[in-house]
Amino acid sequence: MTRLSRSMAFGLSLSLLGLLGCNTPQTTTRRSSLMDYLYPKSQSAPSPNPAGARLKLPLKLGIAFVPGGSGSWRVQSLLAPGQERPLLDVVKQSFKDKPWIADIKLVPSTYLRPAGGFENMDQVARMYGVDLMALVSVDQIQYTDPRWYSFTYLSIVGAYVLPGDANDTRTLIDAAVYDVASHTFLMRAPGQSQLKGSSTWAHREVQLREHSAKGLQLAMTDLAKNLDAEVATFKAEIASGGRKDVDVVDRQGVSLRQSGGRNFGGSLGWIETLGALLILGAALRLRRA
């Protein structure tokens, strides 16, 4: 074999190895954990404050993304620049027209430090003057699984795998609301989305970025819908005495249980009560399953 032939064979081998490396499954994870942020030294959430929470209406609410924790190379930056505020606005809209909310503040995640705990949450709450904090966590996994029946096309500008990869983007967003003064957990709501697609190998990264952004938007929209249902359930639980750890009073000191829900944004009529109780019953059944 001539030197030129050996050089060509070596180059072809490297190209094939490179193509095989690009044609293997890849997993990209973007993750922030509420547990890692609030309870960094605990395996599980501690017992609730026995004193409970006393909420005085109207309330001021802060909304923030929980910071990502791990420094692992597999954990990508959580959100792209400029993406945070529009997503938080979706959650803000869920509370915007509630008469029991006086003000809503969007808190940049830069003020929340990894594993900051309630001490950090308290600092941020004082800075923004809010009574409640809605902490939003994200878990997004993008899995690229090549289709082995596809073939590789070598062009002058690089390699293309046709017809493409199966790109799967799964997103879970969770919002948990806490009373700042007592650190009492009040409610939570999840949002989910799943996107599938295929692309050429060369276009794969572009599609994954697009699916990441779209997946977050869809999950946030789902979260906002579930949050509305959770607020109704929260009202029903307090009015019925199911949440003994939470007391809600208006400016005159009248309790939610005494008013039948009128001081929490309108009368808790029989239709609303029935719907909330159905939601509560379904949630309890899921917890027991």
Give me the CATH number covering residue 217. Answer: 3.30.160
Residue 104 within a domain: yes
Q: Identify whether the C-beta of residue 117 lies closer than 8 Å to the C-beta of residue 40.
A: yes
Residue 15 within a domain: no
**pTM for this predicted structure:** 0.74
Question: Could you give the 3-state DSSP secondary structure of residue 116?
Answer: coil
Residue 133 within a domain: yes
Residue 161 within a domain: yes
Cα 85 to chain center, whole Å?
Answer: 14
C-alpha 121/C-alpha 116 separation (Å) is 7
- Judge if the upstream peptide bond of residue 48 is cis by omega within 30 degrees of 0: no
- Tell me the β-bridge partners of 188: 176
Residue 151 within a domain: yes
C-alpha 198/C-alpha 144 separation (Å) is 9
Q: Identify whether the C-beta of residue 239 lies closer than 8 Å to the C-beta of residue 267.
A: no
* Residue recorded with tokens 């969770």: 174
With the C-alpha atoms ordered 265, 266, 267, 272, is the resulting torsion angle positive or negative?
negative
C-alpha 99/C-alpha 72 separation (Å) is 43
Domain count for the chain? 1
Q: Identify whether the C-beta of residue 232 lies closer than 8 Å to the C-beta of residue 279.
A: yes
Residue 270 within a domain: no
Q: What does the angle CA 240 – CA 264 – CA 90 come to, to the nearest 5 degrees?
A: 115
Residue 140 within a domain: yes
- Quick one: which of 80, 123, 85 has its CA closest to 105? 85
What pLDDT is stored for residue 105 in this prediction? 95
Question: Could you give the 3-state DSSP secondary structure of residue 199?
Answer: strand
- Quick one: which of 152, 117, 147, 148 has its CA closest to 135? 117
What pLDDT is stored for residue 260 in this prediction? 61
What pLDDT is stored for residue 200 in this prediction? 60
Q: What is the pLDDT along the chain (289 residues), one digit of tens a residue?
A: 555 455 554 454 444 444 444 556 677 778 888 888 998 877 667 777 778 899 998 999 999 999 875 543 333 466 777 888 899 998 888 888 788 899 999 999 889 999 999 999 999 999 999 999 999 989 888 877 655 444 454 434 455 555 545 678 888 899 999 999 999 999 989 898 988 876 665 667 777 888 888 999 999 999 999 988 898 898 888 888 888 899 888 888 888 777 665 656 544 443 344 444 454 455 445 444 4
Residue 183 within a domain: yes
Print the domain residue range for 91: 23-223
* Residue recorded with tokens 């929490």: 264
